[in-house]
Amino acid sequence: MSSSEFHAVRMVIQQISLDPIYRVMVYGESMRTKQVDYESEQRLLEALKAALPDFDVSNLSLGVRATGEGSVVFSGKIELDDRQLNLLGLM
């Protein structure tokens, strides 16, 4: 049985358009920046639930904002393994 490598990263979730489209980015000392875009809030939440079932999405500032582009809805340090990165579409 193979073990997954854990990566200590900063994860940023950003609303990048008024549609809304969300971008998830991760970066850390041991990895280059990786990002993936989700075309809806529903798809973002599905990916987060699959990859991080204990992640509390109630603190995310989701939904269309007046300013729209560039709104950060989450930023924090987190540990992700390769499987979680893959489920988020970051591998």
Residues of the chain above pLDDT 70, percent: 89
Using the predicted structure, report yes or no on whether residue 1 has a pLDDT greater than 60: no
Domain ranges (residues) in the chain: 6-87
3-state secondary structure of 2: coil
Angle at 40 between CA 18 and CA 35, to 5 degrees: 90
Length of the chain: 91
Q: What whole-number distance in Å separates Cα of residue 90 and Cα of residue 53? A: 17
> Which pLDDT belongs to residue 45?
95
What's the pLDDT band for 71 if we cut at 50, 70, 90?
A: confident
Confidence of residue 5 (pLDDT cuts 50, 70, 90): confident
pLDDT in tens, 43-66: 999 999 999 999 999 888 887 665
